[in-house]
């Protein structure tokens, strides 16, 4: 089976038949669901970004090695990129409000959430690597933490959903692959 959860029109016949849901109702439901996801992700990445923003003002920051500083800047960049990506759906909604383009907003937001989740994964992996590298005074051990964190994120955020989709597809009564 092909894994493409971003296709906005694939499930319309099933939604109408099984949920008695019009395309507009489906868009409203999907928009609400996406907003809930964005709220959770946005809050967590804003907290991480806030913590990262204050690190340079801590006395110990001046003693960090150059590789640790580079890791910090890359982590901070990923974290701030995630904040921007997770704020973008709100800007899209405001700019396209009352233009009857909710399908564009929902599709774009779906893709932005995937992109933002990747940025969060990079930021979390970088933050873990930074903490371990500073705590252990070894960039090698920090790199091992980054690899472990990246492997966990890849497993839970990429492999597992694809595996479940291949195993269960759309679920009972859902539309078949097209």
Q: What is the mean pLDDT of residues 94-120?
A: 92
Return d(Cα 94, Cα 71) in angstroms, integer. Answer: 35
**DSSP code per residue over 8-26:** SSTTHHHHHHHH---HHHH
- What local confidence, expressed as pLDDT, does residue 116 receive? 96
Instruction: Report the share of the chain in percent with pLDDT over 70.
Output: 87
- Asked if residue 121 lies in contact with residue 45, where contact means CB atoms within 8 angstroms, the answer is no
pTM: 0.82
State pLDDT tens for residues 125-135. Answer: 999 999 999 99
- Whole-angstrom CA distances from 27 to 7, 12, 15, 124, 147 are 12, 10, 11, 31, 38
Instruction: Report the share of the chain in percent with pLDDT over 90.
Output: 72
- What local confidence, expressed as pLDDT, does residue 173 receive? 52
**């003002």: which residue's tokens?**
57
- Asked if residue 103 lies in contact with residue 27, where contact means CB atoms within 8 angstroms, the answer is yes
Return d(Cα 68, Cα 133) in angstroms, integer. Answer: 7
Report whether pLDDT(177) > 60: no
- Asked if residue 57 lies in contact with residue 135, where contact means CB atoms within 8 angstroms, the answer is no
Mean pLDDT, rounded, of the chain = 88
- For the chain, the C-alpha Rg in angstroms (whole number) is 20
- What local confidence, expressed as pLDDT, does residue 5 receive? 55
């Amino acid at each position: 089976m092909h894994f493409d959860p971003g296709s906005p029109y694939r499930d319309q016949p099933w939604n109408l038949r099984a949920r008695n849901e019009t395309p507009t109702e489906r868009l409203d439901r999907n928009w609400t669901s996406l907003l809930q996801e964005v709220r959770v992700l946005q809050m967590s990445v804003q907290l991480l970004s806030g913590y990262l923003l204050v690190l340079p003002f801590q006395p110990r920051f001046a003693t960090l090695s150059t590789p640790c500083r580079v890791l910090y800047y890359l982590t901070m960049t990923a974290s701030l990129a995630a904040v921007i990506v997770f704020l973008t759906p709100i800007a899209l909604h405001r700019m396209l409000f009352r233009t009857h383009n909710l399908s564009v907003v929902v599709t774009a937001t779906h893709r932005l959430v995937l992109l933002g989740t990747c940025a969060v994964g990079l930021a979390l992996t970088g933050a873990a690597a930074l903490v371990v590298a500073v705590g252990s005074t070894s960039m090698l051990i920090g790199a091992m933490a980054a690899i472990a964190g990246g492997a966990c994120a890849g497993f839970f955020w990429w492999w597992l959903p694809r595996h479940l989709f291949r195993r269960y597809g759309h679920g009972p009564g859902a539309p078949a692959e097209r």
